[in-house]
Amino acid sequence: MELTKARVLILGMDGYLGWALYCYLRNKVNIVEGLDNFSRRRHVHEIGSESLFPLPAETGQECRPIYTHDLVYNPAKVHKFIEEFNPTTIIHFAEQPSAPFSMRNSSSAAGTQRNNVVGSLNLLWMLREHPHIHLVKLGTMGEYSDWIYKNNVEIPEANRIEVQYQDTDITIPTPRWAGSFYHWSKVFDSFNLEFACRLWGLSATDLNQGVVYGTRILGMADNELTRFDYDSYFGTVVNRFIVQSLTDIPLTVYGSGNQTRGYININDTMRAISLAIQNPPPKSTCRIVNQLTEVFSVNEIALMVQQLTGCAIESIDNPRLENEEHTYNPTFNKLEEWGLSDPHKMEQMLPSMLEDVKPFSSRILRDVIAPETKWTGRYYAH
């Protein structure tokens, strides 16, 4: 599909990626609209934090051009909007994205799965009536457990793999396992998505994304910055380290710091989604794309930030239950096949992140950075 002919609907447009994508696409596609229930703002406020970059009000003269709709509690209203807008592509960001938040208590765990699984199911039932719409859904590389893909076994970029069992070659769903109630919601989403595509002839791209970092997309004005979270629930390790380095707080490395994951700059995320829009899969197809461009351990990121700022690094008890010593060998070829060349390098992008954050250092809330929730259910005391 030609990008200039695309009619794009972004679900979850008030979020970190949603707002950035709107700013990226608004002058590239035929038309782009967005919906949100603003739950991300409420969840961050609930844990006592706020976006480091100030956000406009949800309503009023200065608000973002977002329609307030809810996939879980008022799906009929969303369905009506889809019918009237008639998008060629729906980008599904409308999910609670935090693993620590989902492990906070029973309410947060249930709320995460209700929002993510039920919301996505409602959307799939809507698309059953509109199978011409290409669904681009944000998944996560966190669906692939390191205890399954050990000994440097490749993480595939496919829904099915060939294995041998009892001397027989068989095809099975790509093995997945989660490490939090949030990640379980994404596993359920992936299976539901593929099932719906096979059942109803839908066309979908499941973007299994690594950790996204970056403060802005190219050309984004200072008054348009997307949200920047740095707290222990919603802040990524990169954001947390950036903020700690500017406030004389040692970079808190969980456990050994050898936990290794995939990363991608926000500009490359925008480019990848744009390429997905232009290259929809055939009907009855759920296409898996592993969306990352680099692989780092936590220690490697901490050292990059230390080299820029001279900050201290401190190892603390790991609040998560995870393997700290493991191999990590993801396959990520499809983005390059689509034409995503010369991806940004984290080492080169960290200085600009620091410069963007410095003017807002007076807004930093120091007491939201340290981890509060342990996966075992016990709480840290400050």
What residues are labeled active site? Answer: 140, 182, 186
- Residue type, position 167, single letter: D
d(CA 363, CA 51): 9
Q: Exposure string (b/e) for 18-42, b if CB count within 10 Å is 16 or more?
A: bbbbbbbbeeebeebbbbbbbbbbe
Place of tokens 């793999």: 161
Q: Supply 234's token pair.
A: 């919603």
Which two tokens mark 155? 């993480």
Q: Is 291 helix (H, G, I), strand (E, B) or coil?
A: strand
Report which residue type is found at 271: R
Spatial CA neighbour of 208 closest among 160, 281, 154, 158: 158
DSSP E strand stretches across 100-194: 134-140, 160-165, 168-173
Measure the CA angle with vertex 272, ends 269 and 278; round to 5°.
Answer: 145
Strands 134-140 vs 89-92: parallel, antiparallel or unpaired = parallel
Q: How far apart are CA 139 and CA 127, in angstroms?
A: 18
